[in-house]
Amino acid sequence: MIRIKTFKSITALFVLSIIIHALFATNIFASMDPAEIKKRHTEAPFHITGEVIADVKIKDLSEEKDGAYQLRKMTIEIDKVIKSEDSEAQATSVEVFYSYLPSWRAREYVGGKPMDITINDVIEIWLDKGEYGWEPVISGYSVEHIKYIENRNEPIPEPFFHYMERTMATSIQYNLSGVVMIGIAFSILVMFYIGFRKRRTR
């Protein structure tokens, strides 16, 4: 009886440690509330669809942001003005400033949605006046692709050693997730087995 209790305690501790490990090993990427996104878009003074015809670097912010990061400017050839201020109603194109975070760094940030833009994309975008001029209201949340170019341009290529480190980390996390799931399943089976044995001994 004492041996069974001890085994149950060890099993419970094992399950608890696995759950804690799973919670700490998994990054939780929180998205913005869709209602808040909709509200911000409704308030945006400039809302258009169009094709990205140019995309250039304005400033390198890598040192300030402790990693690859740029201020960029895209030019959109306007196809349709959905909402505008009077001064922009007849515009045929617009310059949009945005913060560019390389796709290979996107997993380092939680909560936000990075911009995903390349020349020849056709997009719907919600804009507001910012420090440099027109800017997306909520970064990547304010861009919806109508036409998505498969061959994407990455203005800042991923360094080889960063690629190797990222690949290894992804592989390790994937394998650990499998170990955690197997461990939880095994612990549940053990507890059911102990419970079944106790009933038979009564």
DSSP code string of 104-118: GGGGG--S-------
Alpha carbons 75 and 56: distance in angstroms, whole number:
9
Q: Is the dihedral of CA 115, 117, 121, 122 positive or negative?
A: positive
Position 68 scores a pLDDT of 82
34-156 under CATH 2.40.50, yes or no = yes
Position 165 scores a pLDDT of 59
Alpha carbons 61 and 70: distance in angstroms, whole number:
5
Position 116 scores a pLDDT of 92
Instruction: Per-residue pLDDT tens, the chain, 202 aa: give them.
Output: 545 555 555 555 555 555 554 444 444 445 788 999 999 999 999 999 999 999 999 999 887 777 788 999 999 999 999 999 776 767 899 999 999 988 777 766 666 788 999 999 999 999 999 999 999 999 999 999 999 999 988 888 776 554 565 556 555 555 555 555 666 666 677 666 666 666 666 5
Identity of the amino acid at 200? R
Position 24 scores a pLDDT of 47
Tokens read off for 190: 């053990």
Position 26 scores a pLDDT of 44
Model confidence, pTM? 0.66
Domain ranges of the chain: 2-28+162-201, 34-156
DSSP one-letter string for 1-51:
-HHHHHHHHHHHHHHHHHHHHHHHHS---PPPPHHHHHHHHHH-SEEEEEE
Identity of the amino acid at 32? M
Alpha carbons 166 and 67: distance in angstroms, whole number:
15
Asked if residues 87 and 74 have their Cβ atoms less than 8 Å apart, the reply is no
